[in-house]
Structure 1
Amino acid sequence: MSQAIGLDAGGTLTKLAYLDENNQLKLKHFPSNNMPAIINWINSKHNIKEIGITGGRAEQVKTMLDQDTNLHYIVEFEATLKGVRYQLEKENHNFDKCIITNIGTGTSIHYMNQIEHMRVGGTGVGGGTLIGLSALTTGIINYQEILQLAKKGSRMGIDLLVQDIYQGMETPISPTLTASNFGKVGINDVLEYRTEDILATIQGLVGEVITTLSIQLAEQNEVEQIVYIGTTLDNNEKLRDIIADYTILKKKTPVFLDDHGFSGAIGALMNVTQ
């Protein structure tokens, strides 16, 4: 029996989705810069004849695959939304419409209802911003190290909060909201900051920009739920907490899918098997 797989060749990771002999969904990923490992894994599965493929490196993968393999290309946005529909149903999320915020290197935001979907916005702020600003300000470029150090940091000495502006006065909005990311730097006498605090503050900047835009688009489209997906959320509890807390504060409901980084691969698989 021939097998089909879905492949999402991204800039950082290449994600794979397939059904095992018991029709259970299986997921796997490789670094995209290790293309031989990806091709070797595919070639080791001798019964793979159908591949649904998407992502920015799809053409690079295509040139290295066996010519006998049938490729079915699907536009990345289409694959992601198809995958999200499958995941929402599998995880028993029942709502008629939602905002999908896909946090990758940058962030793309979509509106989806039961019939259609459309891209409604986005921002260049995303995982690439997190890594880039971290490298520029601290010299650390290893993603996992950034995440671990950020967990230990505090934003209080770097971000300017609403309560810092209205000192001793009643505030018109929540006093703990960020008035200005990194706003305390340059207006106090502190010249050096802990690496952990800088990284935590960068996490805050990235999370708040993405969430603010998502909330605005949810308001415009009269949507209650915002579904957050993307590999930038992997093992990143701090970013997830920032996004969830701010979404709830603004009276919207955050939804985090279990396999949030594999929506594109799952959608590419669905494009072949459905």
Structure 2
Amino acid sequence: MLRNTAGIDAGGSLIKMVYQENGRMHFKKFPINEHDSAISWLKLSVPSLTVSLTGGKSSIIQKKYFPESVIIPEFQATCEGTRFLLEAENKSIGDNYLIVNIGTGTSWHVVKGDKVERILGSGIGGGTFTGLGSLLTKVRGYRQLTCLSEEGNKNNVDLMVKDIYESAESPVNGELTAANFAKGIRMNPSEADRMASLSNMIAETIVLLTSQAATIHQIKSAVIIGSATAGNKPLRHALESYLDMVGVTPVFLEKGEYCGAIGAHLSV
């Protein structure tokens, strides 16, 4: 008889679950502040679970709900989950690549064959989008802010290279950002414009750091994972566009936001 197993990634913003029931893998996520109801739902839906945990709040979940569970280091779980999905989704990118995990913040890992190393971290990520977005607008919630950013025009907020050079010949692409939010004082931009600018600033920052890491480690591909790009078309489009511009091939995984939970689940 097949066991019912689960991997749970309890992070800063979300609790993500990957559970296997009767040989089939399922995916579910909840806001982290709803972890009590999320775990109760899981226990009712899939009884007699064997669980493995990862993420910053995994020890809280372990003590309260699964004292017999094992906690897998977050970076290990994330990278193992990424390897699994690359194979499962038939993404062939060779043995050397970057993993860019855009969650509440962002982490960078370099993969070279069997060796994986975390090389960089930034406080810029999905938490920035939600937190700063709620300060720039009257909107609350990641999905609502994402919808708002789709409606906006960042050019009403950002100072572009073409704005500086006007009719003169620009030494770089005129569509690049010269200064984020620099028009905000005089343009009175809409909330949608502010969110479009914020999304673009996050993408530019992540791509800049990714490009530097790729150059240092002589890597051409970056696997983009994490919850921040799930359902956020403007952010994903900007990441794709800017990464292509700097010569780094972006690879997005269909279930990339669940890499940590998958990695934990693989250890059960």
Aligned residue identity for 2:43: N
Q: For 1:1-274, list aligned pairs within 5 A.
A: 1=1, 2-21=3-22, 23-44=23-44, 45-48=46-49, 50-65=50-65, 67=67, 70-94=68-92, 95-186=94-185, 189-190=186-187, 192-272=188-268
Distance 1:218 1:18, change over 3 A: same
CA displacement at 1:224 relative to structure 2: 0.9
Deviation, structure 1 residue 103: 0.7
1: CA distance between counterparts of 2:37 and 2:133?
29
Cα offsets for 1:93-142 (capped at 9, x unmatched):
22111111111111111111221111111211111111222122223222
For residues 103 and 25 of structure 2, the distance between their equivalents in structure 1, rounded to whole angstroms, comes to: 23
Aligned equivalents of 1:262 and 1:123: distance in 2? 20
Residues 101 and 229 of structure 1 are in contact (CA less than 8 Å); yes or no, is this contact kept in structure 2?
yes
Q: Which moved more, 1:195-204 or 1:162-171?
A: 162-171
Q: 1:75 to 1:163 in 2, by over 3 A?
A: same
Matching residue's letter, 1:3 = N
- Following superposition, the deviation at residue 66 of structure 1 comes to 5.2
Farther-moved stretch of structure 1 (132-141 vs 255-264): 132-141
CA 1:168/1:114 → structure 2, altered by over 3 Å: closer, same or farther?
A: same
User: Which ranges of 4 or more aligned residues in structure 1 deviate by more than 4 Å?
Assistant: none
Q: Is the 8 A contact 1:101 1:227 kept in 2?
A: yes
Alignment partners' CA distance in 2, 1:232 and 1:58 = 20
Deviation at 1:179, TM superposition (A): 1.2
CA distance in 1, matches of 2:20, 2:121: 32
Q: Return the alpha-carbon distance in structure 2 between the equivalents of residues 100 and 246 of structure 1.
A: 16
Aligned AA for 1:78?
A: Q
Does structure 1 conserve the Cα–Cα contact (< 8 Å) formed by 2:146 and 2:232?
yes
**Larger % of helix: which?**
2
Q: Partner amino acid for 1:82?
A: E
Q: CA deviation at 1:88?
A: 0.6
User: Which amino acid in structure 2 is aligned with residue 52 of structure 1?
Assistant: S
Q: Retained in 2: the 8 A contact 1:17–1:262?
A: yes
1:211 and 1:246 in contact (8 A); partners too = yes
Q: Which amino acid aligns with 1:71?
A: S
Task: Check conservation: 1:30, 1:37, Cα contact below 8 A.
Answer: no
**Structure 2: distance between partners of 1:163 and 1:185:** 17
Distance 1:185 1:43 in 2: 49
- After superposition, the CA RMSD in angstroms is 1.5
- The AA in structure 2 aligned to 1:199 is M
SS in 2 for 1:207: helix
How far 1:39 moved relative to its partner? 2.7
Say if 2:17 and 2:27, in contact at 8 Å, map to a contact too. yes
Structure 1 distance, partners of 2:43, 2:207, is 41
Per-residue deviation, residues 190-219 of structure 1 (Å, max 9, x unmatched) = 3x2111111111111111111111111111
Partners of 2:179 and 2:128 lie apart in 1 by 17
In structure 2, distance between residues paired with 1:66 and 1:183? 50
For 1:66 and 1:18, the matched residues in 2 are separated by: 15
TM-score by length of 2: 0.94
